[in-house]
Amino acid sequence: MNRNRRVPANRQSQRVSIRLQRGASSLFVTVVLVLVIMLLGVTAAVLSNTQFKLAGNLQFENVAFNLAEGALAQAELWLATGTNSKNAGFTTRSTDTPQLYPIGNLATNNLDPLTMTWSSTNSLAIGGDDSQRYLIERYGADNQPLGTGLDSGGRPLTGCQKVDVFRITTRGTSAKGTAKLVQTTYSVPSC
């Protein structure tokens, strides 16, 4: 019995063809996997870059908000100092005090601090720094705040019972141009 059998030539070529097909399909699968991994890498890089930009934008917003808050503190300090709340700019609009507005002046002139262009003709830059500006509008004069009266618990109240009310609007601008506005009301004793 002869154990050495010869494989016919057509069968041998079929085995080589099957091996080549397996190699080609392996190559195709490998190329597809490399492409998928490359796409995942590119997507991760793009997402990382986007997140970096978002974090930067949030920092610029925080800087702008802090600048606006600083301008607000300066405006409140200015109003609370001496007789600044009685400044003539709150009675008659003046170019000498562009940041001060009499009662109703902004509405009469169709100016909205939230949408207007801020400049040295309508607001004050703190220390000459254009990134911090404020304007103050007088809202009311000699108002008696709610909850006050001539007596409290059967005892007469002492001191000033009237206030002048102001609306302060501030704007902070970061290095990249991000702007934040802060608006509040502030009262000063009028007597």
pLDDT at 9 over 90: no
Instruction: Give pLDDT tens digits for 124-147.
Output: 999 988 999 999 999 988 888 776
Distances (CA, A) of 59 to 46, 125, 126: 20, 22, 22
The answer to whether residues 64 and 173 touch, using CB atoms and an 8 Å cutoff, is yes
Instruction: Give pLDDT tens digits for 73-126.
Output: 999 999 999 899 999 999 999 989 999 999 999 999 999 998 999 999 999 999
Quickly count: other Cβ atoms within 10 Å of residue 137's Cβ. 22
- For residue 104, the model assigns a pLDDT of 92
Mean pLDDT for 28-42 is 91
pLDDT at 170 over 60: yes
Decide: pTM greater than 0.85.
no
- For residue 162, the model assigns a pLDDT of 84
Tokens, residue 6:
């010869």
